[in-house]
Amino acid sequence: MVAKILITRNLKLFFFDKGRLFTALITPGILLILYTTFLGRVYRESFGGAWPELIPVSDKLINGFVAGQLVSSLLAVSCVTVAFFANVLMVEDKLSGVIEDFLITPVKPGMLNFCYFVATLLATLMINFMVIAVGFTYIGLQGWFLSAGDMAATIGNVILLSLFGTALSSVIFSFLNTHGQISAVGTIVSAGYGFICGAYMPISNFSVGLQRTLSFLPGTYGTSLLRRSLEDGVFREMKAVGLPEAGVEGFKTAVDYYVEFFGKRVDLQGMYLVMFASISLLLVVFLLLSKRKNYGK
């Protein structure tokens, strides 16, 4: 009962605060505009230039390929950045002294952290489900090749990556104690996460050294999982129109369909293992941090 009240309270404070809600929504909104007006054209030209001249290709296939890449990039960034903005309440309650008021009651720090975590995850999922709806609509207008399984996999990957973003933000915010620190972290995540996860530019375009460095980051695998679920239908269509297997593999490599760890390709099960292991580790760290004697200070 107490947990339900606290979770509801945190959700209401997030969604009723127009400034906080607008800040959480502005990053996906800006990215959507950026992708559709600028990067979409760049990707479309790159795709057309790489397609063999002897094999006819429809505009629907080109647009569907580009749309899948754009939507997967948007979701990869949104799942993490929205979680950071939604989790700011945890630090603000600490700064305002609300947490100390809670701790006077029988409510334990572990319960407070659990409620912040669940509320952040729910808020992140609510926003990202709206992004999914917008993304599916955009893909439908451009070129639809998704199966029911692809759609289900996309939703599952978004839930997984949102869980990762919530766990990561919870650990980082446990160390923050000023509004300046909140702003700094928010700015860094908003500006930098898209680059290091391969959302703005495929990691395959980076240097070998940088690719190896980014292969240690869970977000890289999360982006690749979304690439797979949103582009598999397009790759099936490529094979159907006669594109050789080598050509399909080339396009897969170009959009980070695969992730290599020091030259060894990580399979689908390996990607999910990395994500689940990372989330589990972050949750353990967050649990340990919530048991600090100076919690709330």
Write out the H or E segment, with its range, that includes residue 265.
Answer: strand 264-266
| Residue range 140-167, pLDDT digits in tens | 999 999 999 999 999 999 999 999 999 9
Percent of the chain past pLDDT 70, that is, above it, reads 98
What number of CA atoms fall less than 13 Å from residue 245's CA on the CB side? 0
Give the span between the Cα atoms of 85 and 129, in whole angstroms: 16
* pTM to 2 decimal places: 0.91
Q: Using pLDDT thresholds of 50, 70 and 90, give the confidence band for residue 249.
A: very high
Give me the pLDDT at residue 50, please.
78
The answer, yes or no, to whether residue 296 has pLDDT greater than 80, is: no
As a whole number, mean pLDDT of residues 41-68 equals 83
Report CA dihedral (150, 155, 159, 161) to the nearest 10 degrees.
50
Please, what is the average pLDDT of the chain?
87
Give the span between the Cα atoms of 247 and 224, in whole angstroms: 19
As a whole number, mean pLDDT of residues 132-146 equals 93
**How far is the CA of 17 from the CAs of 22, 84, 239, 293, 296, in angstroms?**
9, 15, 49, 31, 23
List the single range of 13-22, 61-70, 83-92 with lowest mean pLDDT.
13-22
- Please name the residue that has the structure tokens 């869980």: 163
Higher pLDDT, 254 or 41: 254
Give the span between the Cα atoms of 105 and 112, in whole angstroms: 11
Q: Using pLDDT thresholds of 50, 70 and 90, give the confidence band for residue 292.
A: low
**How far is the CA of 296 from the CAs of 97, 128, 149, 262, 283, in angstroms?**
8, 30, 44, 42, 18
Give me the pLDDT at residue 29, please.
75
| Residue range 188-234, pLDDT digits in tens | 887 788 788 887 778 888 888 888 899 999 999 999 999 999 999 99
The answer, yes or no, to whether residue 254 has pLDDT greater than 60, is: yes
**CA nearest 257: which of 282, 238, 276?**
238
Give me the pLDDT at residue 234, please.
95
Give the span between the Cα atoms of 102 and 109, in whole angstroms: 9
